[in-house]
Structure formats: structure tokens, C-alpha cells
Amino acid sequence: MNLERVSNEDKLELCRKYYLGGFALLPFLWLVNVLWFFREAFVVPPYGEQALIRRCECLW
């Protein structure tokens, strides 16, 4: 998936879905979440939804 084409709101929604899916005994989703959204959470310049994405990333 190319996250550069997705709006920030959609990124946040997708990140939340993978985060919540990890609680359904699918920790593989947490790994996918970290791999896809690490850059969005910690590397790119700040934007409104970034703080919420960071919350979903901080399981590790």
C-alpha cells in the first residue's frame, strides 16, 4: 500500500483498525501496523493525526 496517496484521516483509521485487530489475538497485525506506520508516526513533519497514530504505534 502506498501511504503517500492516502489522506491523513484514512491513515489514522487504518492504523486504528490494525491496532484493535491485534487485540483479537492477531499480534501479526501489530507488526504490520508498525512496519506501515512507523515513518508516518515518527519521521514525517508533524500533522494533526500524527499524535493519534503514535499512540497506536507505541505497543512496542
User: Residues 26-42: pLDDT tens digits?
Assistant: 778 888 888 888 888 88
Average pLDDT in the chain: 83
Is a pLDDT exceeding 80 seen at residue 57?
no
Contacts for 50 with CB less than 8 Å, ≥ 6 apart:
8, 40, 41, 44
Is a pLDDT exceeding 80 seen at residue 60?
no
Question: What one-character-per-residue DSSP string does 8-29 give?
Answer: HHHHHHHHHHHHHHHTTT-THH
3-state percent breakdown (helix, strand, coil) of the chain, nearest 5: 70, 0, 30
Q: How many angstroms separate the CA atoms of 57 and 30, rounded?
A: 8
